[in-house]
Chains A and B, each alone.
Chain A
Amino acid sequence: MMKNFIHSRSLVVMTILIAAMVCTPLVSSFPTGISGVKDSGCNCHGATTSDSVTPMIVGLPEVYNYSEVYELTVSFTGGPSTPGNINLGGFHLWASEGELSVVDATVQQYNPNEVGHTEVGNDQTSWTVVWTAPATDRNVEMILHTNSVNGNAGDGAGSSGDEWNKITKKINAPILVLESANPYVVLSTLIIISGILLIITITYIFYRTNPDSFNWESFEPWIADWLTTTDHKKIGTLYFLAGMFFLGIGGIMALMIRIQLSVPGNDFLTQDQYNQFFTLHGTTMIFLAAMPLINGFANWMVPLQIGAPDLALPRINAMSFWLQPVAALLIFTGVFSGTGADTGWTGYAPYIVSETAHVGTTMWVAGQIMLVASSTLTGVNFLTTIAVMRAPGMGWMQMPLFTWSILVANLMLFLSIPAFGVGLVQVYLDRVIGTAFYDAASGGDPLLWSHLFWYFGHPEVYVVIVPAFGVISEVIATSARRTVFGYRSMVYAMAGIGVVSFIVYGHHMFTSGMSPTLRFVTMLTTMLVAVPTGIKIFNWLKTMHKGSLIYRTHTLWALGFLITFTLGGISGMFFPSMAMDLHFHESYFVVAHFHYVLVGGTVFGFFSAIYYWFPKMTGRMLDERLGVLHFLTAFISYNGLFWPMHRLGIWGMARRHHTYFISTEEAMGSLPAEAAGWNMFISISAFLFFFSNFILIANMIKSVIRGQKAPADPWGGWSFEWMTSSPPPTPSFPLDDLPTLRDANEGHIANEPSAIVRWFQGLMVLDDNEEEAGH
Chain B
Amino acid sequence: MSSDHHDGEHHPSAWGPHDWSHGAPHNSWSPIIMSIGIGIFLYTVASVYSWGNMVDSSSIPLVLIGLMIILFGLLIWWRQDASFDGIYEPKASGTPFQNIEIRKVAMWVFLMSEMMVFTSLFSTYMRYRFGIDSCQEVYESGSWIVNSQNVDTGEAVNCFLPASELIASSWFHIAPGAINTFALIISSFTIVQALRWAKKPIGSVDEEVRRKRVYRYLGSTWVLAVIFLTLKMVEWFVGFYIPEIGPIHEHDIMSLVDEGYTIHADHYHPHHGWDDIHLAELAALHPEDYEAYLSAVGPNYEPTNAVMLADIRVSSSTFFVTTGTHGAHVFIGIIGLTYMTWKAWTGGYTPQNAVSIEYFGLYWHFVDLIWVIVFPFFYLY
Contacts and interface: CB of A to CB of B under 8 A. Distances in A.
Interface of A: 3, 6, 9-10, 13, 17, 20-21, 24-25, 27-28, 31, 218, 221-222, 224-225, 227-232, 309-310, 312-316, 318-319, 321-323, 325-327, 329-330, 333, 355, 359, 362-363, 366-367, 369-370, 373, 376, 379-381, 383-384, 386-392, 394-396, 414-419, 421-423, 425-426, 428-437, 439, 441-445, 448, 451-452, 730-731, 735, 738
A429 B317 contact: yes
Given A443-B158, A731-B23, 11 more contacts: A318-B31, A323-B35, A330-B39, A384-B109, A388-B94, A418-B114, A422-B124, A426-B124, A437-B321, A445-B128, A735-B22
B41 to A, nearest CB: 9
A400 to B, nearest CB: 14
B311 interface: yes
A231 B14 CA distance: 13
B153 to A, nearest CB: 17
Contacts of B159: 443
B270 to A, nearest CB: 18
A380 B313 contact: no
Contacts of A395: 95
A312 B107 CA distance: 11
Contact of A312 (B26, B51, B90): B90
Contacts, number: 284
B166 to A, nearest CB: 18
A315 B30 contact: yes
A443 B161 CA distance: 12
A421 B114 CA distance: 11
A433 B120 CA distance: 20
Interface core residue of B25, B55, B119, B131 (most chain A CB under 10 Å) = B25
Contacts of B158: 442-443
Interface stretch (B42-50, B200-208, B298-306): B42-50
Contacts of A322: 31-32, 34-36
B348 to A, nearest CB: 18
Interface in B21-77: 22-36, 38-40, 42-47, 49-53, 55-56, 59, 62, 65, 69, 77
Contact of B25 (A230, A396, A429, A435): A230
B206 to A, nearest CB: 35
Contacts of B124: 422, 426, 437, 448, 452
A27 B47 contact: yes
A394 to B, nearest CB: 8
B64 to A, nearest CB: 13
Given A24-B43, A363-B43, A730-B24, A422 B106 contact: no
Interface stretch (B5-13, B179-187, B225-233): B5-13
B314 interface: yes
B263 interface: yes
A31 B93 contact: no
Contacts of A228: 1, 14, 27-29, 31-32
Given A224-B1, A426-B124, A366 B42 contact: yes
Interface core residue of A231, A321, A359, A418 (most chain B CB under 10 Å) = A418
A429 B322 CA distance: 12
A434 B109 contact: no
Grouping DSSP codes into helix (H, G, I), strand (E, B) and loop, the B interface class, with mixed when no group exceeds half, is helix
Interface core residue of B26, B32, B263 (most chain A CB under 10 Å) = B32
Contact of B93 (A310, A323, A389, A435): A389
Contacts of B35: 319, 322-323, 325-326, 370
A421 B117 contact: yes
Contact of A25 (B22, B43, B116): B43
A222 B1 CA distance: 8
B149 interface: no
Given A312-B103, A730-B6, A326 B39 contact: yes
A435 B321 contact: yes
A13 B120 contact: no
Contact of A370 (B3, B29, B38, B103): B38
A221 B33 contact: no
Contacts of A232: 25
B23 A423 contact: no
B314 A436 contact: yes
A376 B33 CA distance: 19
Given A312-B103, A330-B39, A448 B127 contact: yes
Contact of A27 (B24, B44, B102, B264): B44
B96 interface: yes
B127 A445 contact: yes
A730 B36 contact: no
Given A389-B92, A418-B116, A434 B46 contact: no
Nearest to A415: B116
Contacts of B45: 432
B31 A369 contact: no
Interface in B127-178: 127-128, 131-132, 158-160
B95 A390 contact: yes
Nearest to B1: A221
Given A6-B15, A315-B26, A730-B25, A27 B62 contact: yes
B36 A431 contact: no
Contact of A319 (B5, B31, B112): B31
B21 to A, nearest CB: 11
A324 to B, nearest CB: 8
A225 B31 contact: no
B127 to A, nearest CB: 5
Contact of A315 (B28, B59, B97): B28
A3 B97 contact: no
B358 interface: no
Given A3-B2, A312-B102, A396-B95, A434 B59 contact: no
Contact of B23 (A310, A321, A394, A452): A310
24 contacts: A17-B36, A24-B39, A24-B62, A31-B50, A221-B2, A224-B1, A225-B4, A232-B25, A309-B24, A312-B106, A313-B106, A318-B31, A322-B34, A326-B36, A384-B102, A387-B97, A394-B94, A414-B112, A416-B116, A418-B117, A432-B50, A436-B313, A442-B314, A452-B120
B114 to A, nearest CB: 8
A17 B33 contact: yes
Contact of B40 (A24, A373, A388, A422): A24
Contacts of A366: 39, 42-43, 46
Contacts of B314: 436-437, 439, 442-444
A380 B23 CA distance: 19
B237 interface: no
A315 B31 contact: yes
Interface core residue of A359, A395, A428, A430 (most chain B CB under 10 Å) = A430
A27 B57 CA distance: 12
A435 B117 contact: no
B40 A20 contact: yes
A600 to B, nearest CB: 31
A310 B51 contact: no
Given A312-B90, A388-B102, A391-B93, A436 B317 contact: yes
A67 B52 CA distance: 46
B27 A326 contact: no
B79 to A, nearest CB: 12
B45 to A, nearest CB: 6
B223 interface: no
Given A20-B69, A310-B23, A380 B321 contact: no
A180 B90 CA distance: 61
Contacts of A414: 109, 112-113
A231 to B, nearest CB: 5
A301 to B, nearest CB: 17
B127 A384 contact: no
B44 A24 contact: yes
A433 B93 contact: no
Interface core residue of B34, B43, B59, B132 (most chain A CB under 10 Å) = B43
Contacts of B105: 312, 384, 387-388
Contacts of A421: 117, 120
